[in-house]
Structure 1
Amino acid sequence: MAQVIVVGGGLAGLSAAHTLLERGANVLLLDKQPFMGGNSTKATSGINGAGTQSQQALGIPDNSKIFFDDTKQSARELARDDLIRVLTGRSGDAVNWLQDKFGLDLSKVSRLGGHTQPRTHRGSAQFPGMVMTYAQMERLEDLAVSNPERVKIKKKARVVKLLKDEQGAVIGVEYTVGGKSEIAYGPVILATGGYAADFTENSLLKKYRPEYYNLPTTNGDHCTGDGQKLALEIGASAIDLEKVQVHPTGLVDPKEPDAKVKFLAAEALRGVGGLLLDNEGKRFVDELQHRDYVTGKMWENGKFPIRLVLNGQASKEIEWHCKHYVGRGLMKRFANGYDLAKEIGISPEQLKKTFDDYNVVIRNKKDPFGKKFFQTEEWSMDDYFNVAIMTPVLHYTMGGLEIDAESRVVGKDGKPIPGLFAAGEVAGGVHGANRLGGSSLLGCVVFGRVSGDSAAGYLLQRLGPLAEKAAGRLGAVAGHLGGDASATKSSEEKKAEEAPSGGNAFSVEEVAKHNKKDDCWVIVDGQVLDVTNFLPDHPGGEKAILLYAGRDATEEFNMLHDPKVIPRYAPDAIIGSLKK
């Protein structure tokens, strides 16, 4: 079968690609980043699912109807019943698919804000978004090596135009890679993400929510609304572009409090019982309310800095996250409440009163702020605490391209544009006015799979007899651009899987000398890496590596990555081994 072009290598694009392969279609995946993954790798709370194997094992009485009602309430006046029905109705299958096809551990289930049942799935370690995305990414990259006639991946490939035929059907893309313009043919699935880091000259964020334009963001700088703009140029319809979610809990780095890009504090931290306290050590909100509500209460209360406080029970429940945040200097551990009170700048008696008042709430299940779900253990000044400073941050864009229940992009005439599909954050209307925590990864997987199904069916039914004709019409354009009408495997994807052994041996003292941005070495599992040139391409940003410049980064690295990451993505960085 001919190819489908997937634009974007985050979880939505990867889920679409794997579904296309399951349906017999070939895949050309184009990603403008040097590494696939996108914002999906940053998702920290988990993926929602109703009626899953994990829920059944835990005796959780959830189903798609309950999930539908929760989502519709969150979406409020902008609820699209058709899209919500797809999102929630296929949620259980999506989670089970990840577990069965990719062997993922999604056995832990928690309740996030706005959910009436625990349904947000994650495993015992690592960020769930990273685990899910890497599993799909590595499987697809392996297929690109073993079966290149079925899977082709091009990174640092920026799509600049969607191509249409005389009837208005999308038949391919024009893109740039390696300084050259090229053309590829086939129906197109857009999975390019949102626009919550769109600080460009033609910013969608500035146009539709100018009051948010100067807020910090959790998004990578690649989230500039590319897919939305490409589709709008050819007559697509947009929906809810003014609906931009400001997440209440962005982590403030005490060393860089004004940094534009913030690391997100997983909503699961509040889901396991974390409290939000203002600068007087007082609660002011139901921590498990919808994100926009909590954000509004933070601004209304106005007593910054606001801290997210986890006691011992909550910390143990989500230990891996706490350890990671502490390691990055974004969270601090306190031995007891007296030390915490000193940090806040209040008396121990004042903090104890907050804890005592909350303990009464836990016992009576009556909260003045309306909270309904509580951890069982009461709060004590003699407990230990993990604490981080919070600030509202740009996080997610609910608006985007209008799609129907089959992930087909709708034109301004109200009809689907033939050959054009969208999945993930680029698609609007799925979450209405406010997205529930845990539904971003779900939207990527569900609509990634729906778009893959729809595009494969479209390719089989309609595009097959047109492909040769389309290629003939556009062949002259391809020749003029100096491109190749068929996608070919890039040199990056032909790199050997095995890393060089590195014959040199370095002492810890020698590595420690290379601790600056323009001269950065790190140690991982006894190997010495010169990551200076890799810093700008690191999906987690430069800072994540620079924290360990000149030091051993093994523990932090292994918390987040599979051992195959270095030989696969940075084999040239290995310069030797550590002297024994």
Structure 2
Amino acid sequence: MAQVIIVGGGLAGLSAAHTLLERGANVLLIDKQGFMGGNSTKATSGINGAGTQTQHDHGITDSAKIFFDDTKRSARDLARDDLIRVLTGRSGDAVNWLQDKFALDLSKVSRLGGHTQPRTHRGDAQFPGMVITYAQLERLEDLSVSIPDRVKILKKTRVTKLIKDQSGTVTGVEYIQNGKTSSALGPVILATGGYAADFTDDSLLRKYRPELWDLPTTNGEHSTGDGHKIALAAGASAIDMEKVQVHPTGLVDPKEPDAKVKFLAAEALRGVGGLLLDNEGQRFVDELQHRDFVTGKIWENGKYPIRLILNGKSSKEIEWHCKHYVGRGLMKKFDSGDALAKEFGLPPAVLKKTFDDYNLAAKTKKDKFAKKFFSDENWTLNDTFHVAIMTPVLHYTMGGLEIDSEGRVLAAGGAPLPGLFAAGEVAGGVHGANRLGGSSLLGCVVFGRVAGDTAAAYLLQNIGDVSSRAAGRVAGVAAQLGAEPETAKASSGAAASPPSTGGSYTIDEVAKHNKKDDIWVVVDGQVLDVTKFLPDHPGGEKAILLYAGRDATEEFNMLHDPKVIPRYAPDAVIGRVRK
């Protein structure tokens, strides 16, 4: 069967790829990064699902209708009902699919801001976005080796244009790899993410929300709206492009407070009971309100710095996150209320009064900030605490390409643009003015599967017609480019050879290689030269630079499976540590 081209190797693209394979279609996945996964790997709170087995096991009553109402309310009635019905109606099935097909642990469930029921699923360890995305990524890369005639992956490859025939049907893409422009045939699914890090010359962020231009962002530098731009150039319609979500809780690094890219503080931190306090030690908002509301209250209150604090109980509930943030120097642990008060520069009695007021509100359900859901009513100074400084950050773009409920991209007149589909953050109209926490991963999985289903059906119905028309078009393009038309070949890291043992180095020798242009780290006794890998790291350069010249074993093992190094960076291993 002919191929479908997927542009973007994040969770939406991966979910589309696996769905296409289930439907019998072939897949060519193109990603501009060297290490796929996109911003999906950074999602820290979990994935929403209504009516799941996990909820049933926890005695939680929920339904697609309740989830629909919560989403509609969060969207400020600006999202399209048909798209919300797809998102919420297929949410339970999406969680089940991840558990059944990829054997994922999604046994914990919590309530995030704007949700009337606990429905955000995660497992016991690691960031759920990373776990969910890597499970799909590794499976697809394995398939690119075992069935290369059906799965092809191109990395470090940038799609620059959609190819259309005379009727306006999208029949393929042009792309650049290693400086060479080539083309590939097939209907196209765009899964390229958003534009919340679009600081380029033709920035969509500057065009639609210039007042947000100077804010820091949680997005990787790849989030520059590439899919939006090539689709709009091909005649696609956009919707809600001015709807950009500013997340209230970006983590401020005390060592680099003005950094443009911030690490996100998982909304789950507030979901398990974390409190937001201003520089006077006072609450100023319902911590579980919608993201845009909390952000607005931070700006309105204006008493900086804003700190997120967790007591011993809430810290234990989300222990892995706290440990990770502490390891990165983004969060501090205090062993007493007195030590916490000293951090604030306030008398302990001030924090005691804040805690006492909160405890009373939790017991009586009469909170002056109208909070309805409380995880704990026993905040005392005689406890341990985790604390981090927060700042609002650019996070998610609700606007994007206009799609219908089948994932087809619409043209300016409202009709589908034949041969073009979209899923994930590149698609607009799903979340309206504000996205609920936990619905980014959900949107990727649900609409990735929807787009995969629709593209497979389209391919089956049009395979002969599309192929003949596309062949002529691509031949013409190739002639203009001075190149032969080609179908991409795989460049997956799945078949990587085991790392060589190389030489041996003392830890003092490793410590000398601690600069961006010469960086070594140690993981499980292996010495890695990660200088060339640094730009490809999905968590950003800073995550590696933090451990330059040091042993990164504990942090690495918290986040990664041991097979990550031989699979994705075998050439980085240069030897072992000797004592």
TM-score over 0.5 for the alignment? yes
Q: Which residue of 2 aligns with 1:363?
A: 363
Show the 5 A alignment for 1:3-402: 3-402=3-402
Q: Which residue of 1 aligns with 2:541?
A: 542
The answer on whether the counterparts of 2:400 and 2:425 sit within 8 Å (CA) in structure 1 is yes
Q: Which residue of 1 aligns with 2:519?
A: 520
Q: Quote the Cα distance in structure 2 between the aligned partners of 1:372 and 1:311.
A: 19
The answer on whether the counterparts of 1:409 and 1:422 sit within 8 Å (CA) in structure 2 is yes
The answer on whether the counterparts of 1:183 and 1:483 sit within 8 Å (CA) in structure 2 is no
Q: CA deviation at 1:345?
A: 1.1
Structure 1 183/213 Cα, relative in aligned 2: closer, same or farther at 3 Å? same
The answer on whether the counterparts of 2:28 and 2:488 sit within 8 Å (CA) in structure 1 is no
Q: Quote the Cα distance in structure 2 between the aligned partners of 1:496 and 1:96.
A: 30
The answer on whether the counterparts of 1:171 and 1:188 sit within 8 Å (CA) in structure 2 is yes
Q: Name the amino acid aligned to 2:91.
A: S
Q: Quote the Cα distance in structure 2 between the aligned partners of 1:85 and 1:205.
A: 28
Q: Name the amino acid aligned to 2:278.
A: D
Q: Quote the Cα distance in structure 1 between the aligned partners of 2:172 and 2:63.
A: 40
Q: CA deviation at 1:26?
A: 0.3
Show the 5 A alignment for 1:490-569: 490=490, 492-493=491-492, 496-569=495-568
Q: How many positions carry a matched residue from both structures?
A: 579
SS in 2 for 1:445: helix
The CA deviation string for residues 256-282 of structure 1, in whole angstroms up to 9 with x for no partner, is: 000000000000000000000000000
Q: CA deviation at 1:312?
A: 0.4
Q: CA deviation at 1:494?
A: 6.3
Q: Which residue of 1 aligns with 2:571?
A: 572
Q: CA deviation at 1:465?
A: 3.0
Q: Quote the Cα distance in structure 1 between the aligned partners of 2:488 and 2:202.
A: 32
Q: Name the amino acid aligned to 1:572.
A: D
The CA deviation string for residues 309-329 of structure 1, in whole angstroms up to 9 with x for no partner, is: 000000000000000000000
Structure 1 8/483 Cα, relative in aligned 2: closer, same or farther at 3 Å? farther
Q: Name the amino acid aligned to 1:184.
A: A
Q: CA deviation at 1:470?
A: 1.9
Q: Quote the Cα distance in structure 1 between the aligned partners of 2:494 and 2:485.
A: 23
Q: CA deviation at 1:79?
A: 2.6
Q: CA deviation at 1:495?
A: 7.1
Q: Quote the Cα distance in structure 2 between the aligned partners of 1:374 and 1:389.
A: 22
SS in 1 for 2:75: helix
User: What TM-score comes out, normalization by structure 2 length?
Assistant: 0.98
The CA deviation string for residues 518-541 of structure 1, in whole angstroms up to 9 with x for no partner, is: 221111111111112221221111
The answer on whether the counterparts of 2:9 and 2:30 sit within 8 Å (CA) in structure 1 is yes
Q: Quote the Cα distance in structure 2 between the aligned partners of 1:129 and 1:554.
A: 21
Q: Quote the Cα distance in structure 1 between the aligned partners of 2:456 and 2:518.
A: 48
Q: Which residue of 2 aligns with 1:460?
A: 460
Q: Quote the Cα distance in structure 1 between the aligned partners of 2:511 and 2:71.
A: 51
Q: CA deviation at 1:482?
A: 4.3
Q: Name the amino acid aligned to 2:242.
A: E
Q: Quote the Cα distance in structure 1 between the aligned partners of 2:65 and 2:261.
A: 37
SS in 2 for 1:505: strand
Structure 1 545/177 Cα, relative in aligned 2: closer, same or farther at 3 Å? same
The answer on whether the counterparts of 1:185 and 1:485 sit within 8 Å (CA) in structure 2 is no
Structure 1 494/536 Cα, relative in aligned 2: closer, same or farther at 3 Å? closer
The answer on whether the counterparts of 1:502 and 1:576 sit within 8 Å (CA) in structure 2 is yes
Structure 1 495/270 Cα, relative in aligned 2: closer, same or farther at 3 Å? closer
Q: Name the amino acid aligned to 1:3.
A: Q
Q: Quote the Cα distance in structure 2 between the aligned partners of 1:485 and 1:278.
A: 60
Q: CA deviation at 1:377?
A: 4.6
Q: Quote the Cα distance in structure 1 between the aligned partners of 2:164 and 2:532.
A: 39
Structure 1 66/508 Cα, relative in aligned 2: closer, same or farther at 3 Å? same
Q: CA deviation at 1:466?
A: 2.7
Range with greater deviation from structure 2 (475-484 or 279-288):
475-484
User: What TM-score comes out, normalization by structure 1 length?
Assistant: 0.98
Q: Quote the Cα distance in structure 2 between the aligned partners of 1:389 and 1:26.
A: 47
Q: CA deviation at 1:481?
A: 2.1
The answer on whether the counterparts of 1:46 and 1:441 sit within 8 Å (CA) in structure 2 is yes
Q: Quote the Cα distance in structure 1 between the aligned partners of 2:197 and 2:90.
A: 30
Q: Name the amino acid aligned to 1:288.
A: L
SS in 2 for 1:79: coil
Range with greater deviation from structure 2 (194-203 or 112-121):
194-203
Runs of 5+ consecutive residues of structure 1 not aligned to the other structure: none
Runs of 5+ consecutive residues of structure 2 not aligned to the other structure: none
Q: Quote the Cα distance in structure 1 between the aligned partners of 2:284 and 2:426.
A: 34
The answer on whether the counterparts of 1:499 and 1:574 sit within 8 Å (CA) in structure 2 is no
SS in 1 for 2:77: helix
The CA deviation string for residues 531-573 of structure 1, in whole angstroms up to 9 with x for no partner, is: 1222122111111111111211111001111111111111111
Q: Which residue of 2 aligns with 1:434?
A: 434
Structure 1 495/98 Cα, relative in aligned 2: closer, same or farther at 3 Å? closer
Q: Name the amino acid aligned to 2:558.
A: M
| Counterpart check, 1:448 vs 2:448 | yes
Structure 1 379/560 Cα, relative in aligned 2: closer, same or farther at 3 Å? same
SS in 2 for 1:6: strand
Q: Name the amino acid aligned to 1:230.
A: I
Q: Quote the Cα distance in structure 1 between the aligned partners of 2:265 and 2:94.
A: 25
Q: Quote the Cα distance in structure 2 between the aligned partners of 1:483 and 1:104.
A: 44
The CA deviation string for residues 367-401 of structure 1, in whole angstroms up to 9 with x for no partner, is: 11011111135101010000000000000000000
The answer on whether the counterparts of 1:284 and 1:301 sit within 8 Å (CA) in structure 2 is yes
Q: Which residue of 1 aligns with 2:486?
A: 486
SS in 2 for 1:511: helix
The answer on whether the counterparts of 1:180 and 1:482 sit within 8 Å (CA) in structure 2 is no
The answer on whether the counterparts of 1:145 and 1:494 sit within 8 Å (CA) in structure 2 is no
Q: Name the amino acid aligned to 1:307.
A: R
The answer on whether the counterparts of 2:47 and 2:120 sit within 8 Å (CA) in structure 1 is yes
The answer on whether the counterparts of 1:313 and 1:377 sit within 8 Å (CA) in structure 2 is no
SS in 1 for 2:9: coil
Q: Name the amino acid aligned to 2:227.
A: G
Report the identity percentage.
78
The answer on whether the counterparts of 2:363 and 2:377 sit within 8 Å (CA) in structure 1 is no
The answer on whether the counterparts of 1:240 and 1:400 sit within 8 Å (CA) in structure 2 is yes
Q: Name the amino acid aligned to 1:497.
A: A
Q: Quote the Cα distance in structure 2 between the aligned partners of 1:133 and 1:389.
A: 28
Q: Name the amino acid aligned to 1:557.
A: F
